[in-house]
């Protein structure tokens, strides 16, 4: 058993270290700080126990002593425990206290450094905190202190002209700025306040020291005091989805291409796994139809699984034409060594019928999931095409941790590519959503969800475009 104190960086998924990412993905248990972004929470092993130990202003779910005890308790239950801490564990993150307590109890503890917001925030604001012309020395201080007596000598820092970076200083900024000026800092010394640094909704406000107390700011913010602020060269620009918090559901074990696209456009993405795809174990029958039609990547995997269970491979389909619904399914077949004849670019019944007819097929062996795609078989039959259905997998609900549940409720909307997502998440409430197709929209409305938009075409690209359009409104 090992407890890893993992620095999650300032928030952006791109700034997470490789080691941190790997540990988060394989952890049996995760204790999560409030500052851990949705994107990082999305990486947590969906089968892991997740515990929210975040400390928001005036609202602590657990005291530090309770967190220490909790780490010891979980270390006795699991092999790999990650304590996900914003920034760096040892820079005002109480990592030292936790490490000391764990080792005193005989529990192995490793530290995974993270990028501190003390350095990331000014960098993303375009402020070089060291500069050979004006800043050969750098001071980092906490604005959140224990008790009524200052632990930081603000008067001494006021007598200095070196750049000063203050973390967790929003609530105490009036006192801090007053003491700095009393110590000798000019009331007109430039100050930068970087809120939600590195994240999609980052904001930078420039002011003077004497005006800091009255500036409207919220946590989490990093305060930079000093002439170095005048060296700012802004470079971080908002994107199409900046400020947008979305939920993307995907079955366990599946990579979300959509999630990556949304993040690239500036969204904060919480990926959840409310369902799991299970192969229905059964023999692959003799295929007498003209062609085999795959409706999903999971269908490909489950079909192969059943083939391999019988000691067979793609040669079993020799002489049959292989069709796929959608580019992703087609690419998946190709990656697994199957030569495909054609792809239905419209991932719906109309596209399937069109493809089969254009190819001159009279009969179809349809590989599909248990709970959907019945409409495809129906439309093919109505068009005079013989259909043999091979139901190869089913989608079942997978429990969602209460920490993730809370974050789902905080999102702007959910992006839905399947009705099974809506059915599974409806347990936790009624949500706003953007859907991929008419069938999904129908399910959403049946469950009382607010449908904000629907993709023009049944594709990930079109779904992404619909999300951008909805957010733009």
- State the CATH number of the domain containing residue 169: 3.30.950.10
Mean pLDDT in residue range 366-382: 79
End of a domain among 94, 115, 136? Answer: 115
Is the model's pLDDT at 366 over the cut of 70? yes
Domain termination site, one of 343, 363, 397 = 397
Residues with a catalytic annotation lie at: 33, 55
Q: What is the pLDDT of residue 150?
A: 75
pLDDT higher than threshold 90 for residue 439: no
In a domain, residue 49? The reply is yes
Clarify whether residues 201 and 290 are in a common domain.
Answer: no
C-beta separation of 315 from 342 below 8 A: no
The pairing of strands 190-195 and 221-225 is antiparallel
Asked whether residue 41 falls in the same domain as residue 74, the answer is yes
Averaged pLDDT for residues 14-26: 95
Average pLDDT over residues 426-434: 93
Position 380 scores a pLDDT of: 82
Task: State the pLDDT confidence band at 297, using cuts at 50, 70 and 90.
Answer: confident
Within a domain: residue 240? no
Confidence grade of residue 59 (pLDDT, cut at 50, 70, 90): low
Provide φ and ψ at 80, rounded to 5°.
-130, 110
- The pLDDT value given to residue 1: 84
pLDDT at residue 25 above 90? yes
Q: Which structural domain range is residue 33 located in?
A: 2-115
Average the pLDDT over 123-148 and give the result. 85
Tokens 């104190």 -> residue: 5
Residue 458 lies in a domain: yes
User: 236 in a domain, yes or no?
Assistant: no
Same domain, 404 and 465: yes
282 shares a domain with 270: no
pLDDT at 255: 60
pLDDT in tens, 67-116: 999 999 999 999 999 999 999 999 998 999 999 999 999 999 999 999 99
Is the pTM higher than 0.85? The answer reads: no
Same domain? 74 vs 172: no
Report if residue 329 sits inside a domain.
Answer: yes
The mean per-residue pLDDT over the stretch 309-321 comes to 91
- Is residue 185 domain-resident? yes
Same domain, 342 and 377: yes
Tell me the CATH number at 41: 3.40.1010.10
416 is a domain residue = yes
Q: Could you tell me the pLDDT band of residue 35, with boundaries at 50, 70 and 90?
A: confident
Q: Which of 78-92, 143-157, 340-354 has the highest mean pLDDT?
A: 78-92
Encoding tokens for residue 74?
A: 């979980």
Asked if 74 and 54 count as a contact pair (C-beta separation under 8 A), the reply is: no
Say what the pLDDT of residue 201 is.
85
Same domain, residue pair 256 and 110? no
Q: How confident is the model at residue 170 (pLDDT cuts 50, 70, 90)?
A: very high
For the chain, how many residues are written?
473
Q: 31-35, 292-296, 467-471: which has the highest mean pLDDT?
A: 467-471
Lowest mean pLDDT among 92-96, 148-152, 172-176, 209-213: 148-152
Lowest mean pLDDT among 11-15, 186-190, 306-310, 323-327: 323-327
CATH number, residue 429: 3.40.50.10090
Does residue 238 lie within any of the structural domains? no
Same domain, 133 and 225: yes
Lowest-confidence segment of 57-61, 343-347, 413-417 by average pLDDT: 57-61
Question: What average pLDDT does the chain have?
Answer: 90
pLDDT value at 57 more than 60: no
Would you place residue 146 in the very low, low, confident or very high pLDDT band (cuts 50, 70, 90)? low
378/409 same-domain check? no
Are 282 and 391 found together in one domain?
yes
The answer to whether the beta carbons of residues 220 and 201 sit under 8 Å apart is: no
Q: How many structural domains compose the chain?
A: 4
Helical packing angle, 460-472 and 257-264, nearest 10°: 40
- pLDDT for 299 equals 92
Residue 283 shares a structural domain with residue 388: yes
Q: What is the pLDDT of residues 382-425, one digit of tens each?
A: 888 899 999 999 888 788 888 899 899 999 999 988 888 898 89
Q: Tell me what pLDDT residue 68 has.
A: 94
> Which of 350, 344, 349, 345 shows the shortest CA–CA distance to 373?
349
Nearest to 10 by CA among 163, 167, 164, 128: 167
Main-chain dihedrals φ then ψ at residue 429, nearest 5 degrees: 140, -175
The pLDDT tens digits of the residues spanning 188-236 come to: 999 999 999 998 889 999 999 999 999 999 988 999 999 999 999 999 9
Nearest to 139 by CA among 160, 163, 155: 163
Q: With helix as H, strand as E and coil as C, how does the chain read?
A: CEEEEEECECCCHHHCCHHHHHHHHHCCEEEECCCCCHHHHCCCCCCCEEEECCEECCEECCCHHHHHHHHHHHHCCCCEEEEEECECCCCCCCHHHHHHHHHHCCCEEEEECCCCHHHHHHHHCCCCCCECCCECCCEEEECCCCCCCCCCCHHHHHHCCCCEEEECCCCCHHHHHHHHHHHCCCCCCEEEEEECCCCCCCEEEEEEHHHHHHCCCCCCEEEEECHHHHHCCCCCCCCCCCCCEEEEECCCCCCCHHHHHHHHCCCEEEEECCEEEEECCCCCCCCCCCEEEECCHHHHHHHHHHHHHCCCCHHHHCCCEEEEECHHHHHHHHHCCCCCCEEECCCCHHHHHHHHHHCCCCEEEEEEECCCCHHHHHHHHHCCCEEEEEEEEEEEECCCCHHHHHHHHHCCEEEECCHHHHHHHHHHCCCEEEECCHHHHHHHHHCCCEEEEECCCCCHHHHHHHHHHHHHC
Domain end, chosen from 397, 429, 463, is at: 397
82 & 136 share domain: no
């Amino acid at each position: 058993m090992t407890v890893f104190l993992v620095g999650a960086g300032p928030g952006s998924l791109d700034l997470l270290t490789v080691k941190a990412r790997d540990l988060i993905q394989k952890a049996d248990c995760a204790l999560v700080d409030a500052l851990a972004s949705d994107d990082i929470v999305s990486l947590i092993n969906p089968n892991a126990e997740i515990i929210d130990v975040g400390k928001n202003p005036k609202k602590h779910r657990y005291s530090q002593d309770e967190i220490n005890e909790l780490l010891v308790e979980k270390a006795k239950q699991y092999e790999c425990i990650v304590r996900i801490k914003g920034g760096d564990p040892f820079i005002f993150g109480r990592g030292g206290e936790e490490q000391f307590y764990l080792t005193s109890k005989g529990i192995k503890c490793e530290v995974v450094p993270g990028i501190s917001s003390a350095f990331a925030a000014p960098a993303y604001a375009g402020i070089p905190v060291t500069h050979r012309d004006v800043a050969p020395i750098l001071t980092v201080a906490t604005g959140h202190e224990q008790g009524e007596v200052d632990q930081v000598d603000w008067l001494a820092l006021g007598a200095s002209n070196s750049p000063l970076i203050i973390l967790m200083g929003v609530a105490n900024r009036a006192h801090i700025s007053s003491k700095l000026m009393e110590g000798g800092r000019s009331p007109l010394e430039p100050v930068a306040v970087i809120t939600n640094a590195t994240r999609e909704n980052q904001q930078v406000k420039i002011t003077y020291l004497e005006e800091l107390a009255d500036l409207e700011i919220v946590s989490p913010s990093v305060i930079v005091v000093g002439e170095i602020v005048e060296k700012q060269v802004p470079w971080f620009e908002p994107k199409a989805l900046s400020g947008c918090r979305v939920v993307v559901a995907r079955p366990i074990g599946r990579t979300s291409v959509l999630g990556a696209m949304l993040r690239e456009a500036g969204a904060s993405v919480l990926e959840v796994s409310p369902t799991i795809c299970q192969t229905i174990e059964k023999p692959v029958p003799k295929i007498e139809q003209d062609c085999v039609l795959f409706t999903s990547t999971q269908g490909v995997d489950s079909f192969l699984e059943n083939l391999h269970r019988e000691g067979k491979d793609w040669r079993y389909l020799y002489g049959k034409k292989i069709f796929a619904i959608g580019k992703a399914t087609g690419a998946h077949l190709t990656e697994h060594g199957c030569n495909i004849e054609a792809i239905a670019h419209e991932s719906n019944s109309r596209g399937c019928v069109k493809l089969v007819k254009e190819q001159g097929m009279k009969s179809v062996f349809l590989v599909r999931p248990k709970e959907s795609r019945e409409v495809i078989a129906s439309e093919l039959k109505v068009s005079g095409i013989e259909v043999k259905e091979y139901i190869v997998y089913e989608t079942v609900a997978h429990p969602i941790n209460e920490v993730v549940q809370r974050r789902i409720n905080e999102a702007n909307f959910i992006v839905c590519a399947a009705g099974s997502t809506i059915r599974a998440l409806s347990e936790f409430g009624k949500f706003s959503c953007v859907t991929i197709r008419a069938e999904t929209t129908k399910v959403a409305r049946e469950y009382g969800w607010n449908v904000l938009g629907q993709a023009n075409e049944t594709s990930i690209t079109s779904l992404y475009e619909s999300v951008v359009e909805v957010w733009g409104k």
